[in-house]
Amino acid sequence: MSRFRIILNPLNPAKACPRLVSRHHGGVKLYFLRHADALPGSDDARRPLSPHGCEQAEELGKFLAKAGILFDAAYTSPLVRARETARLLLDAMDSASRVRAESVDALRNETSPNEFEVWLATLPDAKRVLLVGHEPTLSERVRAMLGVSRPSAFEFSKGAVACVDLIDRRTGCLKLLITPKALGL
């Protein structure tokens, strides 16, 4: 059986992927978010968001809140642009839970797939987890969870978010993909 699992119709997942839905009834959802647009600079770790990137993060936060998506936990790469993206997005959501993003090295590009999996296994119980990071590792993590090996099959634009509904800590089903372009940004 192929590990490639993408639900094409999120409004009717049973029709799109009946075997998956019948054995998996909503577990942990990981929301992989690539940082929004950043200013150029020589010190990569300290590059802040551009004004456009600030708008991307805020508008995505408003969209997610309006869609009823709230996070139980949030983690971000320690790089400035990722931390700013997480903060602006969560502030724009204005959620009652007021989740704050925790900075973790596991979301840096230098983290190996194995180190990421070990870190992921240590996460506390949460149903909806935001992970803010960078390319190319975000798309590599998502492709691995979906069982997709071709690099061009899945890539994140700046400010894009993808939701993977986990089957276990290593495999999942793509439930949502939102790009800034889809939001008119």
Give tens-digit pLDDT for 32-84. Answer: 999 999 999 888 889 999 999 999 999 999 999 999 999 999 999 999 999 99
- Say if CB 161 and CB 150 are below 8 A apart: no
Statement: residue 105 has pLDDT above 50: yes
Q: If you average pLDDT over residues 4-16, what whole number do you get?
A: 41
Q: How many Cβ atoms are within 10 Å of 94's Cβ, its own excluded? A: 10
Q: How many Cβ atoms are within 10 Å of 12's Cβ, its own excluded? A: 11
Q: If you average pLDDT over residues 121-125, what whole number do you get?
A: 85
Q: What is the CATH number of the domain that holds 134?
A: 3.40.50.1240
Statement: residue 3 has pLDDT above 60: no
Statement: residue 18 has pLDDT above 80: no
Domain that holds residue 161: 19-183
1: in domain? no
Beta bridge partners, 73, equal 129
130: in domain? yes
pLDDT band at 168 (very low <50, low <70, confident <90, very high): confident
pTM of the model: 0.84
Q: What is the largest CA-CA distance in the chain?
A: 50
76: in domain? yes
11: in domain? no
Statement: residue 129 has pLDDT above 80: yes
89: in domain? yes
Q: How far apart are CA 97 and CA 85, in angstroms?
A: 18
Q: If you average pLDDT over residues 119-135, what whole number do you get?
A: 91
Statement: residue 20 has pLDDT above 60: no
9: in domain? no
Residue type, 10: P
Look over the chain and give the mean of its residue pLDDT values, rounded to a whole number: 84
3: in domain? no
Find all residues with CB under 8 Å of 114, minimum gap 6, and list them: none
Q: What's residue 95's pLDDT?
A: 63
8: in domain? no
Number of domains forming the structure of the chain: 1
Statement: residue 158 has pLDDT above 90: yes
